[in-house]
Structures are given as C-alpha cells and as structure tokens.
Structure 1
Amino acid sequence: MRMTRKLAVMAGGIALTGGLLAGNAGTAGAAEASPQAASDCPSGWFCVWAGQNYTGHMQKVAGTNRDLTQYAVFQSFKSWYNHGASCDFKWFSAKNHGGSSGVVPRGYKTTDSASHYMKSNTWVNCG
C-alpha cells in the first residue's frame, strides 16, 4: 500500500512521520481475518490492522525485520498497537532500516482515518 500524503501523529510525545515500521529477518505472523479489538494482539508483538478501530486483517511482527514489504497489511494500515513485552517499537519508511523513522512506545495503541505504512523495524529501549 502506498501512502498518498505524509502526516504527523503524536505518540507519547514522539512524532511519527511518513510511514511506520521496517525490519530485518525477524518474525512476522500471517495476516488474520477480522480481529475485533486491540486486545487481539498477542503480548510481545507489534500489530497493525487494515481498518480503523482494529478491524479488517491484522498483521503482527516480533523481532527485527529488514523487509516488511512482503506483508500487505504493513503497506496500508489504519490501526496499530505496540504490545511488546519490554521494548519500544522503532519503524522505518524504507527497507534495511533506512529512510525516516520513529518510535512507538510500549503499550501505545491508536487508530486513524489515514493509511500508514512501514518497510522495516527493530525494537529499542528494552528494559
């Protein structure tokens, strides 16, 4: 999914611009059909949903990923939740941890009418 415009979202005082997420050869789960709530995101994972209010297909990721472009939902999503066990989630707008980036604090979740994307990710501030 491509993002037609850039926008800023405040997440715990940290601005997220451009897209969201990026990764290395970590773990990504298969898209799941029609989750109904943010609570459907398992502990230890970062989850995105295609639709607003945690609806539509859900995609989840754990570990560091250099290329999330093979997972369609990461290329166009409207809801996200960092349900990481002990880390903040760092996304990148390009593969291989390139482009713009931002951090989604552990426990942060939101939904938006705009579509977002990410192409790679890592986990930071673990502790």
Structure 2
Amino acid sequence: MRMTRKFAAIASGIALTGGLLAGSAGAASAAQAAPQAASDCPSGWFCVWSGKNYTGHMQKVEGKNADLTRFSVFQNFQSWYNHGKSCDYKWYTEKNFHGDSGVLAKGVKGTGDAHWFQKSNEWVNCR
C-alpha cells in the first residue's frame, strides 16, 4: 500500500487537466527495446515501463480496463507516460475500478526509484 500512496501523492501533485482517448478498450503486449524513451509511447495510449527512465519492458493500454493484472508490467513499474488525446487517465489499486485511485492528465510522465502498480483504469474528464 505504501507504493500506491506514493504514486497517489505524485499523481495528486500533477496538474489534473488534459486528456486521453476514450472509447474502445484495448492493450498491446509488452515489448523490450533498448534504448527506450517516453516518446516510444504511441499517441492515444497510457504506457508504463518496468525500469526507471523509460527502460525495460513497456506495456501500453487504451480504453477502459477492468483488470490490468494480466499485464505483469502494470504490477511493478517505475516509469509512466499519459500520451493521450482527449481524456485524463484514472487508475485504481483494485480490479473493476475499486480501491485507491488517482488521475493523470494528458502529457504527464514520471520516473524514479519507487515501484508502482495499477489493477484497473478508465478515462475521465473527456473534452
């Protein structure tokens, strides 16, 4: 729970305006390539990397996902980027949109030594 609160604190400190793609749920499989950068996250997706500074395995998702636990990278990541288009990205610590949550605005990215996890997500504040 400690890492969740730290992610929530970081997310809360970030501007909560911006956006991401709303609509069909979907995800892409994890991929590893070196070197990577936040710019490797395609437009319209939320991406996480297993390592800090956008290194290691990358996982990307779009749409609403009730169970992110099927993607191992979402259970232990150190970097993230909301490369969305028209909605904010809302994450949850439990499946089916339950538990603690936070909102990340379009364009927000972060990296560091802490390890975070998410178990579900949806898009909010669509413009």
* Global fold match (TM > 0.5): yes
What's the counterpart of residue 33 of structure 1?
32
Deviations 1:61-88 (A, max 9, x none): 0000000001000000000000011111
- State the number of aligned residues: 115
TM-score, length basis structure 1: 0.84
CA contact under 8 A between 2:92 and 2:119: conserved in structure 1? Answer: yes
Q: Give runs of ≥4 in structure 1 deviating > 6 Å.
A: none
Equivalent residue number for residue 71 of structure 2: 71
Q: Which consecutive residues of structure 2, in runs of 5 or more, have no partner in the other structure?
A: 17-23
Deviation at 1:4, TM superposition (A): 6.0
Is there any run of 5+ residues in structure 1 with no aligned partner, and where?
15-24
Letter matched to residue 94 of structure 1: E
CA root-mean-square deviation: 1.7
Once the two structures are superposed, what CA deviation does each residue of 1:29-74 show, in whole Å capped at 9, x if it has no partner?
1001135100000000000000000000000000000000010000
| C-alpha separation in 1, matches of 2:111 and 2:45 | 17
TM-score scaled by length of structure 2 = 0.84
Q: Is the 8 A contact 2:30 2:59 kept in 1?
A: yes
- Cα distance in 2 for partners of 1:79, 1:119 equals 16
- Aligned-pair identity in percent equals 57
**By percentage of residues, which structure has more helix?**
2
Hey, what does 2:48 align to over in structure 1? 48
The equivalences for 1:80-95 within 5 A come to: 80-95=80-95
Aligned partner of 1:12 in structure 2 is 14
- Contact map agreement 2:45 2:83 (CA 8 A) in 1: yes
Q: Quick one: distance in 1 between partners of 2:33 and 2:54?
A: 8
User: How many Å separate the matches in 2 of 1:4 and 1:68?
Assistant: 19
Assess if the C-alpha contact under 8 Å between 2:84 and 2:107 holds in 1.
Answer: yes
